[in-house]
Amino acid sequence: MDKKLYSQRNMAETANSVIKRRYGDHVRSRKWHHQFREIIGKCIVYNIER
């Protein structure tokens, strides 16, 4: 396996785990575009806090 690519995957999995622990692992919206906005919002808040 390529060590550089694996490292990037590891960082992505860590970020996903932190977001799920802090902000919950489910979305409340029913429509897919509202779900997408909710997930993006969680990512933006995570990046601001970081």
Residue spans per domain, the chain = 3-49
Q: Which pLDDT tens digits describe the chain residue by residue (50 residues)? A: 688 888 899 999 999 999 999 999 999 999 999 999 999 999 999 999 98
Encode 1-29: b = buried (16+ Cβ within 10 Å), e = exposed: eeeeeeeeeeeeeeeeeebeeeeeeeeee
Half-sphere exposure of 27 (CA within 13 A, CB side): 15
**pTM for this model (two decimals):** 0.77
Q: What is the pLDDT of residue 1?
A: 66
